[in-house]
Amino acid sequence: MTTAPTTAFVLAAGLGTRMRPLTDDRPKALVEVGGRTLIDHMLDRLAEGGARRFVVNVHYFADKLEAHLKTRTDLDIVISDERDALLETGGGLKKARRLVGEDPIWVANTDSVWIEPDSGKSMRDLAAAWNPDTMDAALLLARMERTTGFDGAGDFFMDDARHLVFRNDAPSAPFNYMGVHITKPSIVDGVSDAAFSLSKIWRQLAPRGRLTGVVMDGDWMHVGDPHARDVAEARLKAMSPME
């Protein structure tokens, strides 16, 4: 039986340019939806999945984000300081390698909120599906028709064994990456670049059957700009009895 990761790496260093003017005076992670900051929504979700230690990278308005995180006295939070330079998702994980350790970890963006009938089930399902012997990354996915705030035409196809294939040149794909996954931290060890995206590594893993997915039974809201934030706010208020 595979044990759910207990460490999470939270990507909170971005500039949040698409979220302006809401990010003129704060990082995107501190934009509020449904009365809570985006990073608090994600920290709570990760805790539902079994995370007990959280490594958060900071860059834009880093002092404000660090001050906010200190108020989360219920969680063990460590800062990965990227004030000197933005490193993208893969570079951020590479810089944080010493902090996250060698065991599998959660990795999560902060611009993702969702509603599901059984709160925490998607995270439990992802943890249950994780198998380090047969995969190097397992992504949480949303169905395209149950997605709001996402500009693309879908990210992935998935076969019966949960292996993922990138959409590439196809006009559309049924599943979107929700910004949460489980991975081996060591997948970044062979990359010499300082700044790079994790998707660069995923594109190498997918043809080998080492990139897998779990589909969430619920509604995913990508909160990437002010309009998407307003849509998510309205959905959370409308669906609050299900939370």
Q: In this structure, what CATH number is given to the domain that contains residue 87?
A: 3.90.550.10
User: For residues 89 and 197, is the Cβ–Cβ distance under 8 A?
Assistant: yes
Nearest to 53 by CA among 80, 35, 13, 85: 80
Q: What is the pLDDT of residues 38-67, one digit of tens each?
A: 999 999 999 999 999 999 999 999 999 999
> Is 35 within a domain?
yes
Amino acid identity of residue 221, one-letter, is M
Whether residue 166 is predicted with pLDDT greater than 90 in this model: the reply is yes
> Is 168 within a domain?
yes
Q: Give the model's pLDDT for residue 240.
A: 58
> Is 18 within a domain?
yes
> Is 2 within a domain?
no
Cβ neighbors of 125 (< 8 A, separation 6 or more) are 214, 216
Q: How much is the pTM?
A: 0.93
User: For residues 165 and 206, is the Cβ–Cβ distance under 8 A?
Assistant: yes
Q: What is the pLDDT of residues 106-146, one digit of tens each?
A: 999 999 999 998 888 999 999 999 999 999 999 999 999 99
Percent of the chain surpassing pLDDT 70: 97
Nearest to 6 by CA among 95, 145, 101: 101
Q: Which domain holds residue 60?
A: 7-242
User: How far, in Å, CA of 200 to CA of 115, rounded?
Assistant: 29
Nearest to 11 by CA among 36, 37, 42, 32: 42
User: How far, in Å, CA of 109 to CA of 162, rounded?
Assistant: 22
Q: How many domains is the chain partitioned into structurally?
A: 1
Mean of pLDDT over the chain: 93
> Is 157 within a domain?
yes
Mapping DSSP to helix (H, G, I), strand (E, B) and coil, where does residue 188 land?
helix
Whether residue 148 is predicted with pLDDT greater than 80 in this model: the reply is yes
Q: What is the pLDDT of residues 194-237, one digit of tens each?
A: 999 999 999 999 999 999 999 999 999 999 999 999 999 998 88
Instruction: Tokens 């897998």: give the residue.
Output: 212
> Is 122 within a domain?
yes
> Is 1 within a domain?
no
